[in-house]
Each structure stands twice: as C-alpha cells, then as structure tokens.
Amino acid sequence: MRIRLLLPIVLVLAGCAHTNKVQEVRFEDVLITGDLELEKLNDEELFAAGSSFYAAEDYKQAARYFGRLADFWPNSKHRRIALYNCGLADEKLEAWEEAFQRFHELADPKGHGDALDAAFKSAEVLYHLERYDQAIELLDVIGNREDLGLNKRIEARVQVGICNLEAGRSEEAEKVLRKVVNDWQDLSDKDQIDDYFPAQAQFFLGEIFRLHYEEVKLDPEKTAEQLGKDLEYKAEMLLSSQGHYLRAIRIGNGYWATASGAQIGGLYENLWDHMMNAPIPRDMNEEEGEIYRQELRKKIRVLISKAITIYERTLEAAERIGASNPFVERTKASLQRMKDLLLAEAEAEEKGQPPVAKPKHDGT
C-alpha cells in the first residue's frame, strides 16, 4: 500500500489586539509505504511463514516476511534470526545492497555465534559489491583474533587474499595466500582444518599465475627469437599455475579439485588457441615458415592430448567423489570439444591440410 500525505501546518501568529494573521506553511509530500497483507500478522506468524517460504526456495517471499519481522518487531525473540535469514534470502536474489544492510546490523568481527557469521557474510556481500577494501577491513579483524579457532582465522585470511586479487593487488594476494598454505603445511594435525580453505588458497594461487600467463601477448611484429622468448615465458607461467592447481587437487577437497582440473585443461586449450593463431615470425622466409608450421603442428597435438587427459582425470575424480558443480559440466563440454578437435586435426594432417580451427559447439 502506498499512501501520499500532504502535511499542512497552520501557524496562528499573534498580532495586535484587533487582528490575527494566519499563515499556511506547506511541506513537500511524504511517501509512506506499507504492506497491508502482512500488517495483521504477529512476529510468530511472520517467522513461520518466512521459514516456510525459505525452505520452499521462494526467496522473494522469504525476504518479505523476514524483513517485515525485522523492521516492525524490534523486541521479538525471532528478530536476530529473521535479520540473518532475510540477508540470506536477499543474497540468493543477488540483492547485494539489501543483504549487506541486514547482515551489517548483526555483524561483529570481534563477536561470536551469529554476530561472527554475519561478519563473514557482510564481507562476502561486500565482495560482490566490489567494495574489497571494506571486506578486507572486516576480515583482517577476524583473521588476527587469537581467541578464535584456526579454522575461522584461515577462512578469513583466504578471503583477504581473494579480495586483494580482485582489487588488482596480485602481489599482496600471493603473499597472503602463500602464508595460509605454509601455515597449513606446518600443522602436525591437518585434520583440525577444513580442507576447503587450503585448497581454495592453492586454487587462487593458480589463478594469480593464470592471469600472469594471460598477460603475455604474442606480437606478430616480433622476430622468431623474440616470439620464442615470449612463448617460453608464457609456458613458464602456465606450468606455475598448473603446479598450484595440482596441489589443490592433491589436498583432496572435491569442489576445488574439480575446479582446478577444469582450469588446467582450460590452460592447455587456451595455449593451443594462441599457438594456432600465432603468426609466422616476420623474419622467416617461405621455406622456414613451412618448417615452422610443421613444428607448430606437433606441439599443437601434444597440447590437445594433454588437455584431453586432464579433463578425463578431472571427470573421473568428480564421479568418484560424487561432485556436482558448474566446473563438472564445463569440463564435460570441453572434453568433447577437444576430442572432436583431435580427430579433425588427424584427418587434416592425413590430407595434407593446415591445422584445423576449433570445432564450434552450442553454448560454448
């Protein structure tokens, strides 16, 4: 319900004994919003309905009912839970600013229980809002608390590293994430730490070097020697990235193992793309160019085969642990694409044709 009210204020000003002056002062319109359907419900009814809607994954209605409780029943015993659940529902709807307001009211990075959980959630939502420095400010407090268990501190530190990476501070991100990994490796009993977080740290170390790899461009105006050096450095960055992804896989967390396998295969596929489209160096003659193409073809086939092997191993691991996430579906599509490419490349070579372009697939 939307009610527009005009609020006039009439001021009677005392004048002389014989006259009164009347002056009318008008203020701007005030817009009051309400929800007539929910006004009749008490906090118990609002909480029950919100919980039911959330369980049914109707997050819009859940946010509506939990939000009504949080806003209009300040003394309810359900208010803190309603605030948190309203934030969760807004998060599901990707209403990041609304979610932040809900979590922020509860959050205390020096607290415990739902106050600490809300602090983590506030940082997560700030990440989605790309307010990385605010997120880091919260997470640093948590990560440096000596009264907290190591699991929570490591979780906070990993998120600090990721926020730094997203903010474009890759050196600081690498420093933070390497310390997490080193601290975890130094533990005598690694079972006290959820393997999700050290695996996540290794994955994002892999991402740092993947970004370095992508920054290297193969310039067709360069000489064969210069292109060779660029390609060598690009390969070094690929191997560094792959090393961290492999370490993430070895930690054994299903989600990050699958994600890492998909990224490794993607790296080889991407390098194939670059080599496939690499120009013949400008300082080569026609005969040298033909030799160059032949050598390039051999390397291309190796890269395709490596990508296929990595994708197959990733899917085998995912099936073994029952992993189901977007990386699994992406890996399946990539594997089929590379198999089609390897077959087409073999046929092209047999017919004496140049290397083939990547097969097109719907949705890729």
Please determine, for residue 178, whether its predicted confidence score (pLDDT) is greater than 50.
Answer: yes
Question: What is the average pLDDT across 302-320?
Answer: 77
Q: Could you count the other beta carbons within 10 Å of the beta carbon of residue 243?
A: 15
Give the residues across from 2 on adjacent strands: 33
- Determine how many CB atoms are found less than 10 A away from the CB of residue 136: 25
Q: Which of 148-157, 312-321, 342-351 has the lowest mean pLDDT?
A: 342-351
Which tokens go with 15?
Answer: 């004048």
Q: Convert the pLDDT of each residue in 43-64 to its tens digit.
A: 999 999 999 999 999 999 999 9
Predicted local distance difference test score (pLDDT) of residue 198:
96
**Backbone φ/ψ region at 120: left (φ over 0), alpha (ψ -120 to 50), beta:** alpha
- Bridge partners (DSSP) listed for residue 23: 11
Chain-centroid distance, C-alpha 145: 25
| pTM exceeds 0.85 | no
In this predicted model, what pLDDT tens digit does every residue of 220-242 receive, in sequence order?
677 777 877 887 888 889 889 98
Contact 209, 240 (CB under 8 A): yes
Contact 164, 173 (CB under 8 A): yes
DSSP state of 56: T
User: What pLDDT digit, counting tens, does each position of 324-340 carry?
Assistant: 667 777 778 777 877 87
**What's residue 360's pLDDT?**
43
Q: Which of 259, 272, 333 is nearest to 300 (CA)?
A: 272
Side chain identity at 221, as an amino acid letter?
E
Positive or negative CA dihedral for 327, 328, 333, 334?
positive
Counting residues of the chain whose pLDDT is more than 90, the rounded percentage is 48
The backbone region for 116, taken as left when phi is positive above 0, alpha when psi lies in -120 to 50, beta otherwise, is: alpha
Half-sphere exposure of 305 (CA within 13 A, CB side): 7
Taking only the tens place, the pLDDT of each residue in 64-106 is 999 999 999 999 999 999 999 999 999 999 999 999 999 999 9
Answer whether 266's CB lies under 8 Å from 315's CB.
no
> DSSP label at 355?
P
* 166 — pLDDT class (breaks 50, 70, 90): very high
* pLDDT category of residue 323 using cuts at 50, 70 and 90: low
DSSP 267: H
